[in-house]
Amino acid sequence: MIGTDAPRATDETTDDESTTIDIEDVSLSFGDHDVLEDVSIGVESGEFVGLVGPNGAGKTTLLRAISGALEPDTGRIAINGTDVHEVGSRTSSRLVAVVPQDTSLSFSFPVRDVVAMGRHPHRSRFSTPDQHDREAVDDALERTRTTDLAERPIDEVSGGQRQRVVLARAIAQETPALLLDEPTASLDINHQIETLELVRELLADGQAVVAAIHDLTLAARYCDRLALLADGGVHSVGSPAAVLSTDALSTAFDATATVTTNPVTGTETVTALPNESLETDVLSSVESDSSQSAGQSTRQVSGRPSNPRVHVLGSGTTAAGALARLETATVDPAADDEDDDRECGDDDRGDGNGEDAVSESAALEVSVGPVARGSVAADLADQFATDSVIVNPFTALSSEHRERIDDWLRAADVVVLADADGGSRDGPGAFLERLETADSFVPEHTVVVTDRSSVADRAVGDGGSGWRYDQCREQGYEATVETVFEAVGASLEDRVGSDRLE
C-alpha cells in the first residue's frame, strides 16, 4: 500500500550475488474479487521474464504487488532478500524501478529533469545532485538515445521518445529489479523493437526484468521465460516455446490461435484466428451421410459419429493457412445432439486437463499431405495433431505415403486444393494427375484455394496443371485462405442437397 512507512531495513541485502525477485504464494484480492491466487515466480539476475495472459488476468496487479504499490493479502515478495512491503517507499524504490503503462507527463519539465527524478530515492532532502547523480542521468539518457532531447520539454516529444524517457528515468534509478507494464503498447513496430532491445541490453548489467506484454510474439522473441497468467493463477512458466502452445492459448485466452516458428527470428509467432463454426444442420446431415458413403474411412473416433472429412492438398503458406483455418473452426455445441453433448462435457471433466479442447471441438476431420518437413504447414499439422504425411524435402513420395493419401482423398467429403501456385508443374494439380485414384475423385467436391492476388491473374488452362485441376476450378468452389472454411461449408451443403435429391 502506498505510504506505509514501516521500519527501514536500509540496504540490507543477502549474500546472494545474483539478483532475485522472489514471489512466493502471493494472493491478492480487490474486495470479493480474487485477482491473484497463490502466484509464485522467481526471477534471476540478468533474466527477462514476460507476463502474458488475457486482459484481467492480473498482470498489472502482479507488477504493482512486486513494486510495493499493492500489498498482497498473503504471501511474500522479496527483492534481493528484502520484503518490499516491509520497508518504506524510499527503500523499496532503491530496489525496484517501474516503467508504468502511461505516465501523466502533461507538464513541460525538460526531459533531463524527468530522468533526474529517478535519482530521488538516492538523494537526501537538502543535497544538491552529486557527481554520481549527474553521471547516472547522463548515462541513462545516452543508453536510451535521448541525450539529444535532454533540454526539450517532455510534453513536446513523441510517444516513442517519451517511453524511452520514462525508461531512462527507471535506468537512472539504478535498481536491481526493473518492472515494465506494457512497454510497447502504444509504440509503432520500430519503437517496440527498439525499446525491447534496450531492455535486453540492461540484462547484461544483471538487472532482473519483469514485463507485462500483450503481444505474445514480441514476448516470445525477447523474454527468456514467460509466465502465462490466467484466472488469477499462473497457468505455466517456462521458455516461450513451452508456454505458448495452441492448447495453452485456447485455455488461457479462450482464443483460437496458431503458434508457428518465425523463419526470420526463429522464435514463436502467435496468430489469432476468428472463431468460425459450422452450421448445425449441415453438420448433422453430413455426419449421417458420410457414415454411409465413406464407409471405408479408416479413421473413425470410436463411439462418436465422424465429422465431415476434408483433405488439404498443397504446400507452402497457402496450405498452412487453409489448414489452420479448417483445424480451428469449431462446432457450435448446440450443433451436437444433446446426449452427445453431455457425454462430451463429462469426458472433458473426466480428463481434467482440458488439453484436447481444440481437437475436441473441431468441426472437421482434417488430413493434409504431402507437405515438406520444416514447412509452416508441417509445423501446424504437428501442432494440431492433424493426420498428415510429412515428407523430407526433395525426396520422392514413398508408396506407403501415397497409399495413405489415396485413402484420405477417397474418404474426404471435400478436397481442398491449396497452393498459391496451384497451376505449376509441382502443384496440387500436377499431383492429382499422377494420382491412381484420381478417377474416383469428384471435381465438384473440391475447393480451390488461390492466393488472393493471383486469382485474377491466372487464366484456366495455362501452364502444366493438367485438366483435373482446371476441372476443379471450373466445377468446384474457389476461395481464398480467409474464406476457405466458408467454401468448405458451402460445398458440404451442396453435397447434402444433391444426396438428398438422389
Partner 1 sequence: MYAPVRTLSWSVGLAVVLVGVMIASAALGPVRIDPTVVAMAILNAIVVPTGVVFDGSVTIPGLEWGLPVPGLEYASVFKFAVPDTHQTIVGDIRLPRIALAAVVGFALAAAGTVMQGFFRNPLADPSIIGVSSGAAAGAVAAIAFPTLVPFASLHLSAFVGALGAAFLVYAIATEGGRTPVATLLLAGVAIQAFLGAMISYMLVHSGDDLRQAVLWMMGRLNYSTWSDVGFALPVSLLGVTVLCAYTRELNVLLLGEEDAHHLGVNVERTKILLLALASVVTAAGVAVAGVIGFVGLVVPHIMRLIVGPDHRILLPTSALAGASFLVATDTIARAGPAEVPVGIVTAALGAPFFLFLLTRKEVHSV
Which stretches of the chain bind partner 1, using CB under 8 A?
Answer: 1-5, 64, 67-69, 88-90, 92-94, 96-98, 100, 103-110, 112-113, 116-118, 120-121, 123, 125-126, 128, 150-151, 155, 173
Closer CB to partner 1, 173 or 192, in the complex: 173
Closer CB to partner 1, 136 or 368, in the complex: 136
Q: How far is the CB of 177 from partner 1 (least distance, A)?
A: 11
DSSP 263: T
Q: How far is the CB of 171 from partner 1 (least distance, A)?
A: 13
Ranges of beta strands (E only) in 321-422 are 330-331, 365-372, 387-391, 414-418
3-state secondary structure at position 95: helix
State how far the alpha carbon of 285 is from the alpha carbons of 175, 270, 299, 309, 392, in Å.
65, 35, 19, 13, 39
Side chain identity, residue 452: R
- Burial profile 219-240: b = 16 or more Cβ within 10 angstroms, e = fewer: bbbbbbbbbbbbebbbbbbeeb
Q: How far is the CB of 448 from partner 1 (least distance, A)?
A: 57
Closer CB to partner 1, 151 or 197, in the complex: 151
Q: Give dist(CA 353, CA 347) in Å, integer.
A: 11
Closer CB to partner 1, 125 or 349, in the complex: 125
Closer CB to partner 1, 1 or 501, in the complex: 1
Closer CB to partner 1, 67 or 217, in the complex: 67
State how far the alpha carbon of 117 is from the alpha carbons of 109, 120, 128, 148, 197, in Å.
11, 5, 13, 18, 24
Q: How far is the CB of 116 from partner 1 (least distance, A)?
A: 8
Closer CB to partner 1, 4 or 288, in the complex: 4
State how far the alpha carbon of 314 is from the alpha carbons of 27, 322, 414, 420, 429, in Å.
50, 9, 14, 9, 9
Q: Give dist(CA 352, CA 331) in Å, integer.
A: 21
Q: How far is the CB of 337 from partner 1 (least distance, A)?
A: 54
Q: Give dist(CA 293, CA 301) in Å, integer.
A: 17
Q: How far is the CB of 265 from partner 1 (least distance, A)?
A: 32
Left, alpha or beta for 443 (phi > 0: left; psi -120 to 50: alpha)?
Answer: alpha
Closer CB to partner 1, 105 or 193, in the complex: 105
Closer CB to partner 1, 71 or 348, in the complex: 71
Q: How far is the CB of 99 from partner 1 (least distance, A)?
A: 9
Q: How far is the CB of 68 from partner 1 (least distance, A)?
A: 7
State how far the alpha carbon of 79 is from the alpha carbons of 97, 203, 210, in Å.
11, 16, 12
Q: How far is the CB of 154 from partner 1 (least distance, A)?
A: 10
Closer CB to partner 1, 68 or 428, in the complex: 68
- From the centroid of its chain, how far is CA 313? 26
- Burial profile 359-388: b = 16 or more Cβ within 10 angstroms, e = fewer: eebbbbbbbbbbbbeebbbbbbbebbebbb
Side chain identity, residue 253: F
Closer CB to partner 1, 121 or 206, in the complex: 121
Backbone angles phi, psi at 257, to 5 degrees: -150, 150
- The contacts of residue 88 (CB under 8 Å, 6+ apart) are 4, 5, 6, 8
Q: Give dist(CA 234, CA 27) in Å, integer.
A: 11
Q: Give dist(CA 417, CA 226) in Å, integer.
A: 38
Closer CB to partner 1, 123 or 299, in the complex: 123
Q: How far is the CB of 199 from partner 1 (least distance, A)?
A: 17
- The answer to whether the peptide bond before residue 72 is cis (omega within 30 degrees of 0) is no
- Please answer whether residues 58 and 108 qualify as being in contact, where contact means their C-beta atoms are separated by less than 8 angstroms: no
Q: How far is the CB of 12 from partner 1 (least distance, A)?
A: 17
Beta-carbon count within 10 A of 494 CB? 16
Q: How far is the CB of 118 from partner 1 (least distance, A)?
A: 7
